[in-house]
């Protein structure tokens, strides 16, 4: 299936989801996650009108960035090793995986300008998942005030791989409640307006629960490997 066709289907679903909860589709950013596909396929996403591309691994990011560069706005969505920060930090538009102080420190040291970051929160508490624990997130965000190269643009989570819709909604709602709470404090370093949540299998639910940035791989560009 062409990216263009997939995108049309996804946009249709977004419109419906937005209608059902009285939101505007313009408030939803689609990030095409290209980690499973070639550079060519990533370019096809750009041709279809996508501007935001996401990668979760260093090699995938650097390969694609080298080929595509400034034609896209780059999102790093995977866990980031501190020693790799210097290789990517000035190339990315947003980091979705800020989850520890040592990483914040390294960003502070290496970034030549302020960077918008999502704090990744492990809402579901699964051990396999990265992210700050829900109960620790607010204190972590407060502590980020010490790093003026970091702006807390929002919160990110990965929902568990389950079919239970109510449980999924519960995860998204908890992240949204935390976002609302932090946003309403109007901390200068943490406007915290955005919610990065929702992937191929759960983006409709995520939008209904307030997602502003959805990260879609399989349903948009497919999987080649």
Ligand X SMILES: *Cc1c(COP(=O)(O)O)cnc(C)c1O
- Residues found near ligand X in the complex (CB under 6 A): 33, 35, 56, 77-78, 158, 199-201, 215-219
- C-alpha torsion angle, residues 202, 207, 212, 213 (rounded to 10): 20
CB atoms within 10 A of CB 202: 24
Instruction: List Cα–Cα distances, 54 to 17, 65, 97, 221, in angstroms.
Output: 23, 10, 12, 12
Shortest Cβ 55–ligand X spacing (Å)? 9
Least separation in angstroms between residue 14's CB and ligand X is 14
Compute the least distance from the CB of residue 103 to ligand X, in Å.
15
Residue 82 or 201: which CB sits closer to ligand X? 201
Q: Token match 């568990």: residue?
A: 160
* Cβ distance to ligand X smaller for residue 81 or 143: 81
**C-beta nearest to ligand X: residue:** 217
User: Cβ(76)–Cβ(61) under 8 Å?
Assistant: yes
Q: Which is nearer to ligand X, 10 or 18 (CB)?
A: 10
Q: Which element (helix H / strand E) includes 163?
A: none
Q: How far is the CB of 112 from ligand X (least distance, A)?
A: 25
Q: What's 190's DSSP letter?
A: B
**In the complex with ligand X, which residue's Cβ is closer, 139 or 207?**
207
């Amino acid at each position: 299936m062409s990216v263009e066709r997939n995108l049309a289907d996804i946009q249709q679903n977004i419109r419906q989801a937005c209608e059902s909860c009285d939101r505007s589709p313009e408030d939803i950013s689609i990030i095409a996650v290209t980690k499973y596909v070639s550079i060519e396929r990533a370019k096809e996403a750009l041709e279809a009108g996508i501007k935001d591309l996401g990668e979760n691994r260093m090699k995938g990011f650097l390969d694609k960035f080298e080929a595509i560069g400034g034609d896209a706005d780059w999102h790093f969505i995977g866990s980031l090793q501190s020693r790799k920060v210097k290789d990517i930090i000035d190339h990315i538009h947003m980091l979705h995986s800020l989850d520890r102080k040592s990483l914040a420190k390294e960003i502070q040291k290496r970034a030549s300008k302020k960077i918008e970051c999502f704090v990744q929160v492990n809402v579901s508490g699964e051990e396999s998942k990265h992210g700050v624990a829900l109960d620790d997130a607010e204190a972590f965000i407060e502590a980020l005030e010490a790093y003026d190269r970091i702006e807390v643009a929002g919160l990110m989570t990965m929902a568990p791989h389950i079919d239970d819709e109510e449980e999924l909604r519960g995860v998204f709602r908890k992240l949204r409640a935390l976002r609302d709470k932090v946003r309403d404090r109007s901390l200068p370093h943490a406007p915290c307006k955005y919610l990065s949540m929702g992937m191929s299998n759960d983006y409709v639910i995520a939008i209904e629960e307030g997602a502003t940035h959805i990260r879609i791989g399989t349903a948009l560009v497919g999987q080649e490997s």
